[in-house]
């Protein structure tokens, strides 16, 4: 598949690119193409020394939209509206949200917008796009660690069945991830809230990179 | 430990009694003591034919409070206030909430009270008790299936460290459950919301008895 990552130069974005570009055509997007270029060079070099194949392409965030069947939003939730305002051509696209709005107080607190979740907000901002929440709960530190398998469950929810199915197929193509169908987009708050929960668990239980597995 | 279960004659309550009474002194409570008596006879008989030891005692819900160090509230969230009004002597007790308020629409929807979660509501109703949220996400069908281990993670959160530690000890004494310290009671909404999430996963993914494991 042709998959593009908006905000692809962050830690999670680069980690996704490392994992996805072995099986898919990946576009790393950034507000500045030079940053995307630098990220692609780094990721490409790492994959090359590991002897792994890859198809990685630097571009702008708009370039991601223009070239990809699946557009992943890997940006801080607070940048969402500004980023969308800067883009055109999102209509009809599958858009994957892995955003988990949260704030840090004496613990990590889920801080959804009034719509209920970042994914629901995104669907309201883009009524003609197909929003899917997925990849929300994978520990950031594990994406880039190619020496270890990614063996978590990935909740996938959407109001668009075709988009959900395609995203589940994408999930299942990565390492040992297992996509689970969690139902309509309305359940996305429960999925997003798992991320502050596991960060709290890591902190209070003195663990690292806590992820979730359903069984 | 002396552990009592308010609402101990429901499926989850009886399942907990089956698991706990092998290592602890368990009081099964009900509004009507005859119902508790019948549940104890059933559970005791099952444990006897399996050749397992047990210490099971029928009583009223008030009897649970009077006899137990840890009082488990295993009742529907909507019965919470009425049940509390009928009891005395809860001050200073460790009270474990495994309640997950939810409603069924076209999916299972988390439906917390305005306080934020059932556990937070309970703490506000009982400011002199030590509320702990735990055991929220264990699939109901697995509690009673003694032929299978219970090998899930159990999120435990509370604002009372001593109560949290004692509850984690209780969790870790049951089958292969693993207690994880999730922090303060404020995270209880994220934990409670996992239950409608896993019920939705079971439904939309055509699975049964979906539980959660953190790794």
Per-residue pLDDT of chain A (215 residues; tens, 9 = 90+): 999 999 989 899 999 999 999 999 999 999 999 999 999 999 999 999 999 999 999 999 999 999 999 999 999 888 999 999 999 999 999 999 999 999 999 999 999 999 999 999 999 999 999 999 999 999 988 999 999 999 999 999 999 999 999 999 999 999 999 999 999 999 999 999 999 999 999 999 999 999 999 99
β-pair partners for B60: B30
- Residue A97 has what pLDDT? 97
Local confidence band at B189 (pLDDT 50, 70, 90 cut-offs): very high
Q: What is the pLDDT of residue A141?
A: 87
CB neighbours of A68 closer than 8 A, spacing ≥ 6?
A2, A3, A4, A27, A93
Alpha helices (H) along chain B: 11-20, 33-49, 61-67, 80-85, 118-125, 140-143, 161-172, 188-204
Cα gap A200→A194, rounded to integer Å: 10
Do the chains contact at A107 and B184, CB–CB below 8 Å?
Answer: yes
CA dihedral A66, A67, A68, A69 (to 10 degrees): 80
Contact A205 B180 (CB under 8 A): yes
pLDDT at B53: 95
- Residue A105 exposed, middle or buried by CB count within 10 Å (0-12, 13-18, 19+): exposed
Taken as a whole, chain B contains a residue count of 215
| Topology (CATH level 3) of domain B2-204 | Rossmann fold (3.40.50)
Pick the residue from chain A with its C-alpha nearest to B108.
A187
Residues 6-45 (A) with a CB less than 8 A from some CB of B:
none
Q: Which of B110, B205, B214 sits opposite A201 (nearest CB)?
A: B214
Strand-by-strand arrangement of the B130-133 sheet: B56-60, B25-30, B2-6, B70-73, B94-97, B130-133, B153-158, B178-183
Query: How near does any CA of chain B get to the CA of A43, in Å?
Result: 26
Q: What is the ipTM of this complex?
A: 0.91
- Tell whether A177 lies on the interface with B, counting CB pairs under 8 A: no
Contact A196 B187 (CB under 8 A): yes
Q: What is the nearest CA distance from B181 to chain A, expressed in angstroms?
A: 5
Cα distances (angstroms) measured from residue A1 to each of A22, A90, A94, A170, B27: 11, 17, 12, 8, 58
Residue B6 pLDDT > 90, yes or no? Answer: yes
Read off the pLDDT of each residue in B184-209 and give the average, rounded to a whole number: 96
A207 Cβ neighbours under 8 A, 6+ residues apart: A201
Segment 182-201 of chain A within 8 Å of chain B by CB: 182-184, 186-187, 189-191, 193-194, 196-198, 200-201
pLDDT at B78 over 90: no
pLDDT band at B8; cut points 50, 70, 90? confident
Q: Rounded to 5 degrees, what angle do the CA atoms A80, A76, A13 make? A: 110
In 3D space, the residue among A102, A119, A101, A116 whose CA is nearest the CA of residue A163 turns out to be A119
What does the alpha-carbon distance between residue A104 and residue B203 come to, in Å, rounded to a whole number? 34
Q: Is A111 exposed, middle or buried (0-12, 13-18, 19+ CB in 10 A)?
A: middle
More confident residue, B49 or A140: B49
Interchain contact, A155 vs B193, CB within 8 Å: no
What span, in angstroms and rounded, lies between the C-alpha atoms of A56 and A39?
Answer: 10
At A140 the pLDDT is 85
Give the number of other CB atoms < 10 A from CB of residue A130. Answer: 24
A-proximal residues of B, 57-116, CB under 8 Å:
106-107, 109-110
Other C-beta atoms within 10 Å of A125: how many? 15
CB A142 within 8 A of CB A203: no
Q: What burial letters (b/e) apply to A137-170, b meaning 16+ CB within 10 Å?
A: bbbebbbbebeeebebbbbbbbebeebbebbbeb
Shortest Cα distance from B151 to chain A (angstroms)?
9
Provide mean pLDDT across the span B40-53.
95
Query: CA of B27 to nearest chain A CA: how many angstroms apart?
Result: 30
Task: Indicate whether B141 pLDDT > 90.
Answer: no
Task: Chain A: give the shortest CA distance to residue B202, in Å.
Answer: 8
In this complex, which of B186, B204, B214 lies closest to A182 when CB atoms are compared? Answer: B204
- Inspect the interface and report whether the beta carbons of B213 and A210 lie closer than 8 Å: no
Token pair recorded at residue A72: 């992943």
Q: Write phi, then psi, for A178 (nearest 5 degrees).
A: -125, 115
């Amino acid at each position: 598949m042709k998959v593009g990552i908006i905000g692809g130069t962050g830690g999670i974005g680069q980690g996704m690119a490392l994992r996805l570009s072995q099986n898919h055509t990946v576009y790393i997007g950034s507000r500045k193409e030079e940053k995307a270029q630098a990220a692609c060079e780094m990721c490409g070099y790492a994959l090359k020394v590991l002897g792994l194949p890859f198809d990685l392409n630097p571009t702008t965030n708009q370039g991601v939209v223009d070239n990809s069947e699946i557009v992943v939003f890997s940006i801080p939730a607070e940048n969402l509206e500004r980023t969308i305002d800067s883009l055109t051509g999102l209509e009809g696209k599958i858009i994957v949200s892995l955003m988990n709005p949260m704030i840090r107080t004496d613990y990590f607190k889920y801080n959804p917008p009034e719509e209920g979740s970042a994914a629901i907000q995104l669907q309201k901002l883009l009524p003609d796009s197909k929003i899917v929440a997925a990849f929300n709960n994978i520990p950031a530190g594990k994406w880039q660690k190619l020496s270890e398998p990614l063996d978590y469950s990935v909740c996938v929810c959407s109001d668009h069945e075709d988009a959900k199915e395609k995203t589940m197929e994408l999930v299942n193509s990565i390492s040992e991830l297992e996509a689970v169908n969690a139902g309509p987009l309305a359940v996305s708050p429960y999925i997003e809230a798992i991320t502050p929960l596991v960060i709290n668990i890591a902190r209070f239980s003195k663990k690292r990179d806590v992820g979730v597995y359903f069984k």
